Structure 1
Amino acid sequence: MIIVTTDAVPGKEIKEIKGFVRGSTVQTKHIGKDILAGLKTIVGGEIGEYTEMMDEARQKAIGRMVEDAKAKGANAIIGMRLQTSAVMQNAAEIIAYGTAALIEE
């Protein structure tokens, strides 16, 4: 599956647009790691636990978007975007979305 943030795939022709696709997940960390992350806010610096959590969430959301595109018969996703929002304290939703397309092989 080719995934691009642009409206076209360089060097490839779009044969058919299959439609909007998306994938999402809501992630939170284990309470023990959450406490450690909270302590890091006192001294400053990167909060590795949350960086890891958000990376896992992005990968899950993108994976689900790809499955949606495959189910529609696409071999590419164009105009892919990621969006995040806080849904409750210490929990974030990640949404991956784009346009499923069939491009020349």
Structure 2
Amino acid sequence: MLISNMEVVPGKRITQHLGMVQGSTVRAKHAGRDIMAGFKNIFGGELKGYTELLSESREEAIDRLKQQAAALGANAVINVRFSTSSIAAGASEIFVYGTAVLVEDR
């Protein structure tokens, strides 16, 4: 599955638009990570636990987007965008969306 944040896939021709697809995940903070983040807020530095959590969340959301696109028969998703939002205290959603398409070599 090709994924592109552009409206085209270089070297490919879009033959069919199959519709919007999406993927999302909601994750809560881990208490241990939260305590360590509190220390980092005092002393400064990267919050590696949260960086890892967000990376895992993005990958899970992309996997769900790919599954939905494959179910439509797509071989690519174009114009991919990410969004985040706070769902509850300590929980956030990562949302990814794009347009499922069929592409072929030029």
TM-score by length of 2: 0.94
Structure 1 residues without counterparts, runs of 5 or longer: none
Is the 1:7–1:79 Cα contact (8 Å) retained in structure 2?
yes
Q: Could you say what the CA RMSD is over the residues aligned between the two structures, in angstroms?
A: 1.0
Q: Equivalents in 1 of 2:28, 2:48: separation in Å?
A: 14
1:52-89 CA distance string (max 9 Å, x none): 00000000000000000000000000000111111122
Partner of 2:86: 86
> Is 1:24 matched with 2:24?
yes
Between the aligned residues of both structures, percent identity stands at 50
Give the CA deviation at 1:28: 1.7
Q: Which runs of 4+ in 1 moved over 6 A?
A: none
Name the structure 2 match of 1:75.
75
Q: Which amino acid aligns with 2:4?
A: V
Aligned mates of 2:26, 2:38 — CA distance in 1: 20
**Amino acid across the alignment from 2:42:** I
Unaligned runs of 5+ in 2: none
| Conservation of the 8 A alpha-carbon contact between 1:28 and 1:53 | no
User: 1:42 Cα deviation (Å)?
Assistant: 1.1
Q: Which amino acid aligns with 2:34?
A: D
Following the alignment from structure 1 to structure 2, what is the Cα–Cα distance between the partners of residues 28 and 54?
A: 10
- TM-score, normalization by structure 1: 0.95
